[in-house]
């Protein structure tokens, strides 16, 4: 019912490792069932006749020091419905493992490579997984969320789930990546019911990058006294008490310095009406 990619790579902007999952399916709210990840541990996707308990079990095994292969072996040993299950996982080092039970509906299968496990069932054919793998390799050096999305999109364009499209999800974790830098969730997006869920997921990721990621040094514009005066004036013209009130109202707080010393270049363009 599903095709997914579980991956680990180093983020180019920070040099920090990240772990994540992208998944799509002709299934309502696939993001509620399939993906799980924890920074510093790994990531997992459980699908087909999904054993959702595997998310916690798999991550717990990785936390105990098991490699992806060992964690997979232990999960399969303890599940009498393993022939109906499909799962992919990567561990803290990027070692990958995948399993497709022989009772999964055709076409079903998967592939692993350095830092990635790709798998799917009820697909139009093996080309879905093959194209996802190609897209993953071609996107090396890009942020993990973009790599996972590129692979998911490649699988979707190759035909994806042969029953059609309904939902998609993207989850990426890395240390200090959450809102305000206070947890590990860099991206947690779900499209629960949509005619074009992967395309909608791409739109949401663009918004996520604006609202819920921190500005890089290259994106920061130093606020001079002249610019500070402009920011205040434009904010009042927009109906707000001051610039910080406008920032809070528009949810750009991840893109402006708390002390007002810099503003993100994109936020500045938005306030100026430049898009």
C-alpha distances (whole Å) from 169 to each of 5, 76, 105, 255 are 11, 25, 22, 25
Q: Which CATH number fits domain 2-211: 1.25.40.80, 3.30.2310.20, 3.60.20.10, 3.40.30.10?
A: 3.60.20.10
Please write the tens of the pLDDT for every residue from 186-232.
999 999 999 999 999 999 999 999 999 889 899 999 999 999 999 99
Q: What confidence tier does 1 reach under pLDDT thresholds 50, 70, 90?
A: low
Please write the tens of the pLDDT for every residue from 158-186.
999 999 999 999 999 999 887 877 889 99
Please write the tens of the pLDDT for every residue from 235-265.
999 999 999 999 999 999 999 999 999 999 9
Please write the tens of the pLDDT for every residue from 79-108.
999 999 999 999 999 999 999 999 999 999
Please write the tens of the pLDDT for every residue from 58-84.
999 999 999 999 999 999 999 999 999
In this predicted structure, what is the pLDDT of residue 180? 77
In this predicted structure, what is the pLDDT of residue 42? 98
Phi, psi of 211 (to 5 degrees): -85, -30
For the chain, the structural domain boundaries read 2-211, 217-271
Against a cut of 0.75, is the pTM above it? yes
Mean confidence (pLDDT) of the chain: 96
Is the Cβ–Cβ distance between 62 and 73 less than 8 Å?
no
Where would I find the H helices in the chain? Answer: 53-63, 68-77, 127-138, 144-157, 197-211, 225-237, 243-250, 265-271
Has residue 41 got a pLDDT over 80? yes
Cα of 223 vs its chain's centroid, Å: 33
């Amino acid at each position: 019912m599903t095709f997914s990619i579980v991956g680990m790579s180093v983020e180019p902007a920070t040099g920090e490792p990240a772990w994540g999952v992208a998944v799509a399916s002709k299934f309502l709210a696939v993001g509620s069932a399939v993906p799980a990840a924890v920074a510093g541990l790994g990531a997992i996707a459980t699908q087909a006749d999904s054993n959702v308990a595997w998310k916690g079990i798999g991550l717990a095994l990785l936390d105990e020091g098991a490699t992806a292969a060992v964690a997979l072996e232990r999960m399969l040993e303890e599940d009498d419905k393993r022939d109906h299950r499909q799962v992919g996982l990567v561990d803290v080092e990027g070692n990958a493992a995948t399993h497709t039970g022989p009772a999964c509906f055709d076409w079903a299968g998967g592939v692993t490579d350095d830092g990635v496990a790709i798998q799917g069932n009820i697909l139009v054919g093996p080309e879905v997984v093959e194209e996802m793998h190609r897209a993953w390799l071609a996107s090396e050096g890009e942020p993990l969320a973009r790599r996972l999305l590129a692979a998911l999109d490649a699988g979707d364009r190759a035909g994806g789930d042969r029953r059609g499209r309904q939902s998609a999800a993207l989850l990426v974790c890395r240390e200090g990546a959450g809102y305000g830098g206070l947890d590990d969730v860099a991206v947690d997006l779900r499209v629960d019911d949509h005619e074009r869920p992967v395309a909608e997921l791409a739109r949401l990721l663009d918004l996520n990058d604006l609202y819920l990621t921190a500005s890089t040094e290259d994106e920061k514009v130093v606020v001079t006294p002249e610019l500070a005066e402009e920011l205040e004036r434009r904010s009042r013209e927009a109906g707000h008490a001051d610039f910080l009130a406008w920032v809070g109202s528009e949810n750009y707080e991840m893109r402006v310095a708390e002390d007002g010393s810099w503003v993100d270049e994109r936020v500045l363009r938005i306030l100026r009406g430049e898009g």
